[in-house]
Chains A and B, each alone.
Chain A
Amino acid sequence: MKESSENLNAIDLVNRSLKARYRAEKRFKAYGIAAILFGLACLVILFTDIISKGHSAFLQTEVYLEVTFDSDRLDIDDVSNSAQLMAADYQGIIKAALRERFPDVSGRRDKRTLYSLVSNGAGFSLREMLIDDPSLLGKTVGVWLVADDDIDTYVKSRGDNPEDAFTGRMSDKQIAWVESLMENDQLALNFNTTFFTSGDSREPEQAGILGAVMGSLFTLIVTIVLSFPIGVAAAVYLEEYAPRNRLTDFIEVNINNLAAVPSIIFGLLGLAIFIGFFEMHRSIPLVGGLVLSLMTLPTIIISSRAAIKAVPPSIRDAALGLGASKMQMVLHHVLPLAMPGMLTGAIIGFAQALGETAPLLMIGMVAFIVDIPGGVADPATALPVQIFLWSDSPERAFVERTSAAIMVLLAFLISMNTLAIWLRKRLERRW
């Protein structure tokens, strides 16, 4: 009897505290949800800002003109002669086409203003056309030509309402011409292929990110090829072979320290060693990759060691007990089991490297480079550096291109992290 009443008391006590416990639990959960909501909100704000600023960069204003491939003006008498095709004055026939479209314009200054409606790189697209189809010589065709960035900005900011338009450096005459082109549907926003197929340029309408993307790609390849095998080898040695003593403790402390060293210091180190001492060229992805490898190595070593440590010792015992050598144990059992963890860590490290700017500035990958790099030894910039450069440019048209480049970088990062998750799911095995 007494015992059961005591039991009752105990359960009453439990019940009494239950409410408070559940409340505390709810609060605890609420903190977590609040933290996640805060993070999501920041992300949404960031993305809306970037996308709202950058989406317009994927479109480009183009002008419709009736261009005559006049052989006299182009100075081409033989279409099979590529030297003539290359040297011809295509800008000249564009100017002629503009004069024809606006016959009332007279005077040198006005004419020069008129010519600036069209990008001074537009001639290249005519050259491509003629090389593709030599029969165009002497004919008159309607073509869409890339407009100058001022016009582009005007058209994009104008929308349907001329009051909103950003006029910038444009003269009233230019505005009148643009409005007249628009009335006649001779001005349109088309997909901006240049942005994805060109290198950098001083002219926003001719500037693209392909150079920077290739630069980043080559840099990343060098980083992956160097840092992953070296990092994994170091981790395997430290975990499986190295004796535990003062020296290995010292090495461990230093690796952890290196992971926290500001990246610009790795840039300075690269400048001193690779460029200063080994006399490699500046601005090349090879040096960039070397520097980023140094930066990524500690991350890879630390995550690989953790992954190797997580492999159950019983698996090692099983392999060794069967007479496997240590190397066989590592290659056949430990590495396959540790691989998902190592890859996840490594990809996070590579994503970091992809977004790294400061060390690349130190080794000269910040130079203005128009050509698209074709290998690891060609001068190049990288995506984050390109963003940095454009964000510093005065032309208003670079603002949207900066945001667009950020979107491209984010797309790369998201796909890398997705790959990391996919690989982990794919390779993960139970034991």
Chain B
Amino acid sequence: MKDNTMNEPTDNVATNIEENAFSGQTVGTPLCDDAKMSMRNVNVFYDTKQAIHDVSLDIGKNEVVAMIGPSGCGKSTFLRCLNRMNDTIESCKVTGDIKLEELDIYHPKQDVVPLRARVGMVFQKPNPFPKSIYDNVAYGPRIHGLVNRKYDLDEIVESSLRRASLWDEVKDRLHSPGTGLSGGQQQRLCIARTIAVSPEVILMDEPCSALDPIATAKIEELIAELSQKFTIAIVTHSMQQAARVSHRTAYFHMGKLVEVNDTKRVFTNPEHELTEAYITGRFG
């Protein structure tokens, strides 16, 4: 979903960029002081094909980091490293250090279950379970044994739905199927489901790509609110969205992290010419 209008790419700019193919050094400020998650020299391979080249990046506490870049540049791949969802892809190999605070998440002894309880994920396509709205939200707390009284569970379900600003729309039909909601409501249900386990970090992979502008606006509002409590990494194809919701923006290009800067800076005065070419719509 591209919001920027495409300018006709002039031939010489395009070739210029190809020739200038990125050298490897990320420009801007990829690191920060109070990092919630820190990635160092991350490489990801699908079999022999390398999808991520030597990426280092920090995500600060209560920060919203947007990841942008052309299709196929490895944003999803990188995001899925952060809660080890890539483990489900057999051919995928990850090297480098990824830390959640002091925890080395790729340590051989690290269990993915508690990790994913701390680092939640919202997917591109709304994927509620074919169960009731209530059960969707209650699923995480139930499997992790967060509560043992029905009353507490009700409490969590309500507060999660409220935080996802879905409560008013569904409070009268908590026990009807979650798949019966509209696309935007489903996505907010998925967000509620994710925050019900009180993760520390929420990863979002194009959470609005299937939604209309109104639902998108709601979710963006939600992200701003959630950032007070959670750390958020969001992949998006919409520059406006990145500009609206994020504090810092990371631009990926062909598996490499080209530039990380304050969002305002990236969209007004990008440091790297590849970034500039992308945000002005000269390729993508």
Which A residues form the contact surface with B (CB < 8 A)?
243-244, 312, 314-325, 328, 332-333, 337, 429-431
In contact, A318 and B120 (Cβ under 8 angstroms): no
* Cβ-closest chain A residue relative to B193: A322
For residue A337, which residues in chain B have a CB less than 8 angstroms away from its CB?
130
Q: How far is the CB of B178 from chain A (nearest CB, A)?
A: 10
Is B143 close to A, CB under 8 A? yes
Asked if B123 contacts A317 (CB within 8 A), the reply is yes
Whether a CB of chain A sits under 8 angstroms from the CB of B114 is yes
Judge whether B117 is part of the interface by a CB distance below 8 angstroms: yes
Within 8 Å of chain A (Cβ to Cβ): is B275? Answer: no
Q: A314-B123, A315-B127 are known contacts; what are 19 more A-B pairs with Cβ within 8 Å?
A: A316-B88, A318-B129, A318-B190, A319-B129, A320-B85, A321-B116, A321-B120, A321-B123, A322-B116, A322-B139, A322-B193, A323-B116, A323-B140, A324-B139, A324-B143, A332-B139, A430-B179, A431-B129, A431-B179
Contact, CB under 8 Å: B143 / A322: yes
In contact, A431 and B113 (Cβ under 8 angstroms): no
- Enumerate chain B residues within 8 angstroms of A324, measured Cβ to Cβ: 113, 139, 143
B125 in the interface (beta carbon within 8 A): yes
Which 7 residue pairs are nearest across A and B when measured between Cβ atoms? A323-B116, A314-B127, A321-B121, A323-B117, A431-B130, A318-B127, A322-B140
**Least Cβ distance of A74 to chain B in Å?**
71
Which residues of B, 188-202, contact A by the 8 Å Cβ criterion?
190, 193-194, 197
CB-CB under 8 A from B117, the residues of chain A are 322-323
A319 to B121, CA, bound (A): 10
The answer to whether A323 and B85 touch (CB under 8 A), given A318-B123, A430-B179, is: no
Chain A residues whose CB sits within 8 angstroms of the CB of B177 once the complex forms? 430
| Contact indicator B116/A320 (Cβ below 8 Å) | yes
Bound-state CA distance A312–B129 (Å) is 11
For chains A and B in complex, what number of residue pairs have CB atoms within 8 angstroms? 70
| Bound form: Cα–Cα A316–B120 in Å | 14
Would you give 7 A-B contacts (Cβ < 8 Å), ordered by A?
A317-B88, A322-B117, A322-B193, A323-B117, A325-B113, A325-B143, A429-B130
Q: Choose among A243, A337, A429 the residue with the greatest number of B CB atoms under 10 Å from its CB.
A: A429
User: Which residues does chain B contribute within 8 Å of A328, judged by CB atoms?
Assistant: 143
Chain B residues with Cβ below 8 Å from A429 are: 130
Partner of B90 from the list A244, A314, A317, A320 (CB cut-off 8 Å) is A244
Residues of B within 8 Å of A323, CB to CB, are 112-117, 140, 143-144, 197
Distance of B79 from chain A, by nearest CB (Å): 11
Nearest CB of B to A203, in Å: 58
B181 to nearest A CB, angstroms?
12
Contact partner, B83, options A243, A316, A321, Cβ 8 Å: A321
Complex-state Cα separation, A315 to B88, whole angstroms:
13
Tell me the complex Cα distance, A314–B128, Å.
9
Tell me how far the C-beta of A49 lies from the nearest C-beta in chain B, rounded to whole angstroms. 46
Using CB atoms, name the residue of chain A closest to B140. Answer: A322
B86-111 interface code vs A (CB 8 A; 1 in, 0 out) = 00101000000000000000000000
Write out the residue numbers on chain B whose beta carbons fall within 8 Å of the beta carbon of A243.
90
Residues of A within 8 A of B144 (CB): 323
Contact with A along B50-94 (1 / 0, CB 8 A): 000000000000000000000000000000000101001010000
Quick check: A317 and B127 within 8 Å, CB to CB? yes
- Bound-state CA distance A393–B88 (Å) is 62
Q: A residues within 8 A CB of B90?
A: 243-244
Q: Which residues of A contact B128 (CB under 8 A)?
A: 318
Least distance between B116 CB and chain A CB atoms (Å): 4
Give Cα A333 to B129, complex, Å.
8
Complex Cα–Cα for A243 and B91 (A): 10
A319 to B88, CA, bound (A): 12
Provide the residues of chain A in CB contact with B121, threshold 8 Å.
317, 321
Chain A residues in 8 Å Cβ range of B190 = 318
- Knowing A314-B125, A317-B88 are in contact, say whether A322-B130 is a contact too (CB < 8 A): no
A243 to B120, CA, bound (A): 26
Q: How far is the CA of A325 from the CA of B140 in the complex (A)?
A: 11
Give A244 to B90 CA distance when docked, in angstroms.
9
Q: Give B46 Cβ to nearest chain A Cβ, in Å.
A: 14
CA distance A317 to B140 in the complex (A): 13
Contact A315 B129 (CB under 8 A): yes
Q: Which residues of B contact A321 (CB under 8 A)?
A: 83, 85, 116, 120-121, 123, 194
Complex interface: chain B residues within 8 A of A325 (CB): 113, 143
Nearest A residue to B196 via CB reads: A322
B143 to chain A, nearest CB (A): 5
Question: Nearest chain-B residue to A324 (Cβ)?
Answer: B143
Within B16-70, the residues touching A (CB, 8 Å) are: none
Q: Which residues of B contact A430 (CB under 8 A)?
A: 130, 177, 179
Residue of A nearest to B124 (CB): A314
A425 and B129 CA atoms in complex are apart in Å by 19
Docked complex Cα distance between A338 and B99 (Å): 37
Q: Is the CB of B139 within 8 A of A320?
A: no
Q: Which residues of A contact B179 (CB under 8 A)?
A: 430-431
Least Cβ–Cβ distance between A258 and chain B, in angstroms: 26
Nearest neighbor of A316 in chain B, beta-carbon distance: B88
CA distance A314 to B88 in the complex (A): 12
**Which chain B residues border A319 with CB–CB below 8 Å?**
129, 139
Q: Is the CB of A322 within 8 A of B125?
A: no
**CA gap between A431 and B131 in the complex, in Å:** 9
Bound-complex Cα distance A338 to B40 (A): 41
- Docked Cα-Cα span, A321 to B202, in Å, equals 10
Closest to A430 in B: B179
User: Complex Cα distance A333/B123, Å?
Assistant: 17
Q: How far, in angstroms, from A253 to B115 measured CA to CA in the complex? A: 38
List the B residue with the shortest CB-CB distance to A312. Answer: B127
A320 to B129, CA, bound (A): 12
Of A315, A318, A430, the most chain B CB neighbours within 10 A belong to: A318
Q: Please, how many angstroms separate the alpha-carbon atoms of A387 and B114 in the complex? A: 61
- Nearest CB to that of A321 among chain B residues? B121
Give, as a whole number of angstroms, the nearest-CB distance from B169 to chain A.
20
* In the complex, residue of chain B having the shortest beta-carbon distance to the beta carbon of A336: B130
